[in-house]
Amino acid sequence: MGTRARDDEEATDLRTFHPSCGPVVGVVDGPVVRAWAIPYAHADRFAAPERVAPWTAPLCNDEPAPACPQLPSPLVAAMLGGPPTALVADEDCQRLTITRPSVENDSPLPVMVWVHGGSYVLGAGDEPHHDPTVLVAEQNVIVVAVTFRLGVLGFLGDGSAQRPANLGLLDLIAALDWVHENIEAFGGDPGQVTCVGQSAGADAVSHLMAVPNATRRFRRAILQSAPFGIRWNRSAMVSGMFAHTAGFDAHTSLRDMLATQQKLIVDGPRHGLTGAMPFGVQYGMEPLPAESDVEEAWAATASDIDLLVGCNRDEIEFFVPGVPIAETASHFPVLGRPIRRVVTSAITRKVYSAPTADFARKHAAAGGNVVDYRLHWHAPGNPLGAAHCIELPLLFGIEEQWEGAQLLQGATWEQVEEAGRVLRDIWGRFLRGVDLGEREPREARSVLRYRRVSA
């Protein structure tokens, strides 16, 4: 990671901020200023995150934050048009990057804290497909992208002092604490923080909503494609997984840890749909309540958190190319494609749309303000339809990062941008606390539909 102090700041391309953590130098990049890879915490392997001591010399990182160590996914690489991350990997990955408009504002800006997806084993806050430049410049908001521990390092423990559980979730809480204490110096409003997650990131944010000391750090949440249907009854599977890693300690090589992690992922499907995402949060271990108590915890915080929650029409289509027998069957003459659509629609309902609607209803019933959406936009003629992750190029629309993406085959970049402006406008209004209304405006209907959920 390129870190250096700059005493000879050039006003044309650098800008210094003075948060309580210590001075931070941001790099002006056209319409935005980016402060890369700021340490929000530090942790030894299998240890809870600890606060970083304040520094005095200006911190200027000119490279993205390192990713948590991980193995690549050929499926994700094909779908998104490149690897989920080509970043340097480092266990010491508790970093966040702040992107804000380069123009000065008279009043503090709303803040979006971004929690990436990747089944709790892939991705990073500064993964290039999540470049927030367009969103920040267009909507006049600040985006804080968080990198945190994943897989065996972040989401597999037994709750003991030697192997705590939910370390990745504790990293996210530490990041939210840092944002609360420091974002004002970057022009952000600590009282207008929205925590936004996609896929496993949305699942993580939903569980932050069940943690009182975390919910005080954000006023709103956007949950994109959370796999709510596979979050229950995981303890037996996770206990078996942990048994394969119980001997891991500070001296175990990363290579061996990642090899074991990959075996656990490959073995996951024998546990059914739940095993499609074998790593995840663990109930009944710090900072989460028992599984039987989590809905009560959600209800207790509902009135404090405005919620925008939803999923994509054809979520499961994203994963079909990763299942050879399913992909082969879909090419059978006449019936192959219709059968594939029936099966993927049923699984989408079970894993995503039905439990998402249930989560929204319960949030509203507990006194929360909630809007439930379904995203329909897809590349014309693309058999994947509105699959998992299709909202990402709309939200983070940098053309060169999405070249070759199977998700977008059949669409011109002008079509992606047209849909993206609609989605970013809705997300931006929610970030600013603007009432979205009972239904989506007419011009949004070709992209997504939403409705306010009543108690």
199 flagged as catalytic: yes
User: What are the b/e assignments for 379-406, b being 16+ CB within 10 Å?
Assistant: beebbbbbbbbbbbbbbbbeeebbeebb
Q: What are the CB-based long-range contacts (under 8 Å, 24+) for 162-165?
A: 162/46, 162/249, 163/46, 163/242, 163/246, 163/248, 164/46, 164/47, 164/48, 164/285, 164/286, 165/282, 165/285, 165/286
The dihedral through the CA atoms of 123, 276, 166, 170 has a sign that is positive
Q: How far is 367 from 76, CA to CA, in rounded Å?
A: 38
Q: How many other β-carbons are positioned within 10 Å of the β-carbon of residue 255?
A: 9
Q: How far is 384 from 390, CA to CA, in rounded Å?
A: 9
315 flagged as catalytic: yes
Contact 17, 186 (CB under 8 A): yes
Closest among 207, 70, 202 to 127, alpha carbons compared: 70
Closest among 401, 394, 411 to 448, alpha carbons compared: 394
The per-residue pLDDT for 2 is 40
Per-residue pLDDT tens, the chain, 455 aa: give them.
344 334 444 445 999 999 999 999 999 999 999 999 999 999 999 999 999 999 999 999 999 999 999 999 999 999 999 765 568 899 999 999 999 999 999 999 999 999 999 999 999 999 999 999 999 999 999 999 999 999 999 999 999 999 999 999 999 999 999 999 999 999 999 999 999 999 999 999 999 999 988 888 999 999 999 999 999 999 999 999 999 999 999 999 999 999 999 999 999 999 999 999 999 999 999 999 999 999 999 999 999 999 999 999 999 999 988 554 444 445 555 445 677 788 899 999 999 999 999 999 999 999 999 999 999 999 999 999 999 999 999 999 899 999 999 999 999 999 999 999 999 999 999 999 999 999 999 999 999 999 999 98
130 flagged as catalytic: no
The catalytic residue among 119, 206, 315, 353 is 315
Q: How far is 100 from 206, CA to CA, in rounded Å?
A: 25
Q: How far is 113 from 172, CA to CA, in rounded Å?
A: 10
The per-residue pLDDT for 417 is 97
The per-residue pLDDT for 4 is 38
Closest among 161, 158, 179, 145 to 48, alpha carbons compared: 161
The catalytic residue among 73, 199, 225, 330 is 199
Q: How far is 49 from 180, CA to CA, in rounded Å?
A: 17
Q: Show me where the domains of the chain are located.
A: 23-452
Residue for token pair 């606060």: 51
The pTM of this model reads 0.94
CATH superfamily of domain region 23-452:
Alpha/Beta hydrolase fold, catalytic domain (3.40.50.1820)
Please state whether the peptide bond connecting residue 58 to the residue before it is cis, i.e. omega within 30 degrees of 0. Answer: no
Q: How far is 144 from 374, CA to CA, in rounded Å?
A: 25
